[in-house]
Amino acid sequence: MNIRLSDIRQFEHLDLLAKQLVEGFITGLHKSPYHGFSVEFAEHKLYNFGESTRHVDWKVYGRTDRLYTKRYEEETNLRAHLLIDVSSSMYYPAHSQSKIRFSAVCAAALAYLLTKQRDAVGLTTFADKVVYQSALKSTKTHLNQLLTSLGQTLDNQGVPQTDVAKVLHEIADRIHKRSLVIIFSDMFQQANDLEAIFAALQHLKHNKHEVLIFHVTDQKTELGFEFEDRPHQFIDLETKERIKLNPGEVKSAYQEQMKKLYHELKIRCGTYKIDLVEADVQEPFEKILGAYLIKRKRMK
């Protein structure tokens, strides 16, 4: 199953969409590059002989002829914080808001998967400061609250300014137990200050957190600058600055600058042992779930 953003007609039911993405992905694991990953859903785990039979689910045994034991809330073995950039640049392109929509759907699917595994998950949205931050829980009620909050991000217009570095420092100070921090962002901020951003990411790593960045972009236009070769007016979604130009006149220089920026981003992530995934809004959502499984397996 390869579902893309363009395949989705409406977003009213993020819970059903998240369930469809996750369960379709799990069903197709044996056909994918992620074959061999163990994806244990949280309600049950295989019974190991020698364990107490106190928690064996005999009803499941009657249906499957296999022994499973029930897993409980206290068996949570992962804390995951989902961080979504809700600055104005994430609401690009203006007509489709593809970047924020892509991020919300991916975060919903991950929240669903984490909850099914009885892992504690929390949601934070941010721009130049923390806009919303949930508790960290693994209940279905909590999942529903997270999905509601994610749905609300789709109704907003985005915060005019962003300060990724400032917020990541703040998050690092707030998280007191080792966690997996999953970030959805285009990593744009004033002056594209990578020094400041990576100082903040180092803060998270110094505090023993694992970091997974989904670098959300519309690669065709934001990296390739693929626009019809005629005069356009470009508007900065955060500063509202406007400029008129013909894309063909600046395309090569633009591509060169963006290539340098993203090369630096990849090199620094590699240096600090931070997982960076290029999340093109035109690609299937399954890539995000696969990247999460790889990261999770490395943490075990």
pLDDT digits 0-9 by tens, 90-131: 999 877 889 999 999 999 999 999 998 889 999 999 998 999
pLDDT over 90 at 148, yes or no = yes
Of the chain, the percentage scoring pLDDT greater than 90 comes to: 46
pTM score: 0.82
pLDDT value of residue 140 = 93
Beta-carbon contacts of residue 290 (< 8 Å; ≥ 6 apart):
25, 32, 33, 34
pLDDT over 60 at 35, yes or no = no
Strand partners, 159: 87
Report the mean per-residue pLDDT for the chain: 85
Per-residue pLDDT band at 132 (split at 50, 70, 90): very high
Region 258-268: mean pLDDT is 91
Q: Which domains does the chain have, with CATH numbers?
A: 5-32+74-299 (3.40.50.410), 44-71 (no CATH)
pLDDT over 70 at 43, yes or no = no
More reliable by pLDDT, 144 or 33: 144
pLDDT digits 0-9 by tens, 168-210: 999 999 998 999 999 999 987 655 578 899 999 999 999 999 9
pLDDT digits 0-9 by tens, 199-237: 999 999 999 999 999 999 999 999 899 998 898 888 877
More reliable by pLDDT, 129 or 27: 129
pLDDT over 60 at 164, yes or no = yes
More reliable by pLDDT, 85 or 36: 85
Euclidean distance between CA atoms 190 and 188, whole angstroms: 7
